[in-house]
Structure 1
Amino acid sequence: MNDYNFKNLTFLFVEDEKIIRDNIYDILSPFFKKIYVAKNGQEGLEIFKNHEDIDLIVTDIVMPEMDGISMVDAIREFDKEVPIIYVTAFSESDLLIKTIKQKICGYILKPIDVEELLKAIKKAGEIIEAKRLREKLKDINEYLQKEIEKKTEELRKIAFYDELTNLPNRNSLIQDLKRLEKPIVVLLDIDSFKTINDIYGIENGNYVLKEFSGFLKIFEKKYGGKFYRSGSDEFVWLQDNHFEEEKYKKIIEDMIEFISSQKIYLKGYDLGIFVDITIGVGFGKENPLEKADMALSKAIENHQRYYILKNDDTLKKEYEHYMEILKTIKIAIREDGIVPYLQSIVDKDGNINYYEALIRIKTGSTVLVPYQFLEISKKAKLYNKLSSVMIDKSMQIAKEFDRHISINLSYQDLDNKKNMEEIIQKVKYYDIGKKMVFEITENEAIRDFNNILKFIEIVKKYGVKIAIDDFGSGYSNFEYLLKMKPDLIKIDGSLIKEILVNEEAQYIVETISHFSKKLHIQTVAEFVSSQKIFEKLKELNVDKFQGYFFDKPKSYV
């Protein structure tokens, strides 16, 4: 018997002579999965139609009622691929011509030699296996295609929809804005949302956002357009329409009244709260979202419920300035225009102890200082990129030029675990912890002071010194000072500027210097602009000094 494994095959044997039919069945049935037998073409056709498990057909040609050729013609009408083997005699050569177009797999001669039959079946079996493999691969491909489509849809939802509210997100908004000819952007900000989080917890804050998004969907059904969640507590209503001021004033006033009348019942509290919103409106093909953002800032600044930025508005000049600076920031990021300028910090004898790295943006001959671009970078969500590049370059200077460098870290750098982890990784990568000072500015906007304390603890292990910047300004907190255990305190520049003419400023500086000595913390005075100020600060026992009297910030490269 052939060494080929026939156990996976089921075949139909069509033969009108009972002796041959029974003989072939008895010999081969132990070696095949199953064998069906038929005594003529008509019976064979019916069996094939009713049994989908048949893999191949072995058939005689000349038979009563329906011959093999007619049977195969009928089968080929609905199955073009099932392998078929003809059993034929030399005398049937004229009939064989009719089989040429039937895609026959093989022929064996009568009388049937079992070995020859098995060889023909083996050849057909290889075709069947190849077909099965193709079908399996097709099934796998179809499955993979469905999985890809499913994952693509999941990724699309992640990329273009907000998980919490199920509203389209900022990415979706940006994409939709590109295709609109007359976009109207209505930017909504939930008033004092941080207070809701602080008092009732993040879970209730998220619940408020979900309920709020439900209000927006109700409003969307009434007025059309589309709502998006564009930020933490900011939402956008987008329409493609000609802007009619009076019409949209009424709609916005309706929106404000509707939302402010909706009570939200918080989990775990036997009370409901109302939320108020402030709205900024921008319209037109050119940067409507940025216009709406500026209008929102103006509304908040003026304590108005909403503000519409019109084309003839004086705010338009501010907007144009904003866009010009934003363009410069983007060019600087793209073309390596973020430059650290260094200013020395000296001791009482004028010896340089270390340098503070101050961020500048340089494009061509233009150099921008922080007050010109930092706030705009934060509004445009570009601050983190600027800060990351600045930290990188400052650490490179510390390593390559063997300089002790101080860099500023704002609450925005430290109010985010990802940012803090990135800074820690940079300290490890450059291996310059002992040459670095991190100046941290206290700010009431910091949400989790414990995270900052952990950050300080980690970087100090690598030798980094910690300075508290602008100490003596409105937010100075002695409790935080004791917890942070800084190495240096930088006295707020507003006190130093007044030091020669204001006794109160002198007293505050002297007090800061005195208690710092008790805590073994060194003091640094900024904005030292003259010899007289320098001498006065030395009298008040300040340790280190920085300002134009010693040098102006300059590019180190």
Structure 2
Amino acid sequence: MKSTQTASLRQMSKGMTLLYIEDDSLARDAANSLFSEFFDDVIVGFDGEDGARLYATHHEHIDLVITDITMPRMNGIEMIEKMRAINPEVAIIVISAHNEAHYLTQTIEAGVDGYLLKPLGVTQMVKTLGKVLEKLHLRHENMKNALLLKQYENITNTSSIISKTDPKGVITFVNDKFCQISGFTKEELLGRSHNIIRHPDMPKTAFRDLWKTIKDEKKTWQGIVKNRAKNGDTYYVKTTVQPILNPDGHVDEYISLRHDITAIMSDKKQLFDFLEANRLSVLILVQIEDYTILEKFYDKANVEKIEDAFGKNMLYLMPNRWGFQRVYHLGNGLYAFAIDRRNCRASKEEIHAVLEQFLANVKEYIVKIDAIEYDISVICSFTYGIYKIFEDAKIGIENAIQKKQSIVYADGLSGIEYDNALKNIETIHMIKTAIDNRKIISYFQPIVNNTTQKIEKYESLVRLVTEDEQLLTPFYFLETAKKGRYYTKITKIVLENSFAALAKIPEASISINLSMHDIERGEITDYIDNLLLQYEDEAHRIIFELLESEDIKDLLMIKQFIKKVKMKGVKIAIDDFGTGYSNFERLLSYEPDILKIDGSLIKNIQNNQVNQNIVETMILFAKKQNLTTVAEFVENEAIYEIVRDMGIDYSQGYYFGKPELF
């Protein structure tokens, strides 16, 4: 063993705690002596039950577990499951004897990070430990970076006027928008505190609350702050201050984000205060239509005059049956009427009728400002309730713009279910149109024999062609199709396309994806029976790729279907082997002919030793079961050579060909 490797390992394991479990006392003493050279603290367990107890007690301090498999009272697999239940991310290395190969598939399922073979050698130990510890260090760095990134994202997505300070409140960064609104240059701001823009009207108690929240409680603070620009102008900002914590929980810096609400501070605040005080209210929003065009035709001063003039006349234009007292001007051509629901008990149909009259009145109204005459056109949304009433009405305005409607009843539109439903409706329409126009098509990707490099199989892959001729993969439509009646139609089309393609490739097989839920649908299995009867002489060239699912309702039905089609010559492949819900015992009960090793294990196999180890174990497993193996995601020559040399039988990926039409 090279001294540099040993030194590197000692450096990586510095400060780490190892839990080592071995029931053989001689082996335990020898290995413990070796492990103690590298780890500051080694906790020793005598069997599986002892190891599980020790981990439950000390798991917060344990960085790595090294364990035997065959032990009394509780074997290593059971112990690992208990540890994973406490911490799914704990790093585990298994020490195994050559005669314990039958445990390999179970350890793969358990997600172990490495293997050591008995008798334990220093060279292999250093090599395996080095890779696992390197993985632990990378995981720690990723967690640290993700923590910081998440905190930054949460705050930066809130607003656009940004500053940063050190823990003492000294400004270390401002963006351009901060300089624009405050009137100060970056040079004038950096190294100063935010007192430079503090307005004298802001009470000291407000800032005491701010610092208590972000410094002592280490929580996010939000509020409205009144500031003073360099030229003395007052401006209001909705402010969010976030303490940025390091992994030790200490504040490294503070980030403040602000949104300028000066133009709408008065009316919008008063509207929100009214809605808060009157939890059951009628809210009507009115938006000047094509407001962006108005801004392009006139300068800012004249746009404001037009808005002000219209706002002052809106109460006269509104049939004021319920006694609206004022109009709230919210900026950018948006206005609001609000009234207590007790003073307006009208139905939505009655409110809609009043708004129709309001729109008619507006249509006849002309804004006259100096030499400007402007015909106002507006759209409206209205709602009443107690939950997110303003958000509902605002979304109603957006929908009115998109759908070119003049009035929208907006109650409940802010709910996430509405958004999802709208997207689903659009996707369902796209699917229906594609089915009606025969635009559900099949592409075929070659699968190559790794020995001969000849194409012997093709995988059938569904595609959807949109009305504007875009080609979509299943990611964009299949999950939505599963929620409706069109999924079965898509599956039938794919089956029909795939069987028909047999005539175009007389020497090759066609592989077709089927989910377990497809098989549970009698309509699909009946259709498959008819196709197999129609293509009886070619059935031996059909492969059904099964994707395992954790919520199978009728396992017996699945097995009966597989048995029936295999009797007709069809082969069965297990797709995405090595990921997802794979249950080895259940998969073997399907009597597959082919295992397709998931692309997530293959695409990084050049630089990922753990992936190599897992794939090698899968190949060993497949060969013992006399199963053919296929590597997915073979994207280049280097990956191909690796999987070929490892003994995988077939390759599928862009290196040999993209999915194409026949």
TM-score by length of 1: 0.44
Q: Which structure would you say has the larger Rg?
A: 1
TM-score by length of 2: 0.37
